[in-house]
Structure 1
Amino acid sequence: MISILQTPRLTLRRFTEADSKLLLQLNSNPEVLKYLHEPPLATEEQALHILKTIILPQYKNNLGRWAIHLKTTNEFIGWCGLKYLAEANEIDLGYRLMQNFWGNGYAYEAAKHTVEYGFNQLHLKTIIGRAHIENIASLKILEKIGMQFIKEEIVDNCPVKTFSVTT
């Protein structure tokens, strides 16, 4: 297990192919995916495909979506991380939590420390964050971690608000 960072309550680590069950558990809940363009996953094979083609390749750049675990129980609660978007030449902050962990400040904590890691460890200059225009909780997190609203746009057929933070 390659740990990326620690927060007061969380450990963020790299996913491995062995985490396909965890990703399936997260991405099979329609409520978790409510504001995204992704259909719910139905099989572990689909989750493994996402790991192999989307998540794991980002690690070669020291970026990626990282599994979040509670320090107290080591329970998997979701992911957070930085992803390079080649089509826009941007570094994107993303986060996704299991529904039963919403409302505890975990997404904020993970996002805040991930942005700090991006600036302090990876020496990034700008990080972008996007959320569906109706995803009020996610929009509040982007604002609370210091991101500034840039514009509304359509990304992957979703109306989103785009935010940015720079060093």
Structure 2
Amino acid sequence: MTVGRFQVMALLQAARARVLGYPLDEAESFGLNRAIFYAAAKRGFTGGKDKNHPGEPRRLKETPVKKTNKTIQQDTLGNEVAYYVEIDGKKRYVMGEEILEPDDFGWQVEQRFGQAFPEAWQQAVQIIEQTDKATLASQRRFYEEVYKPRRDELAKAWSELSQQAR
């Protein structure tokens, strides 16, 4: 499988949250939340059209969804707002009413890397550790200075890395 921009965003955002002090499970939930948010923003939050069937509504993969009836709370990482619920003392970020678990991160992100995931994770953490805290605290600067200039380069490099590891 190839690693796309979605996986790059999720991995960099998870590494960002981890470096800023979030526990790994919460960082993975946050990273997936942000990747979904930016993917939706790219489509104008209205869903997209299936590239293979122009004019037809997009069909989403059926996945088990964990719905919440808990109170949704607001969290900020720097100036970036994300919503979460608390389960057993842990933050689990949500998209709508869907709870984004670390297992979801594994399914939507980690599996694309296969055995190369630990190396890609370390590379993402290194990128984030080399970024100044002011950039990490800013939604706009993080997107413009960390993610955007590297997204295609990282997608290509991490796709090649995952192919070599198979």
What's the TM-score, normalizing by structure 1?
Answer: 0.26
Higher relative contact order (CA 8 A, sep 6+): 2
Q: Which has the larger radius of gyration?
A: 2
Give the structure with the higher percent strand: 1
What's the TM-score, normalizing by structure 2?
Answer: 0.26
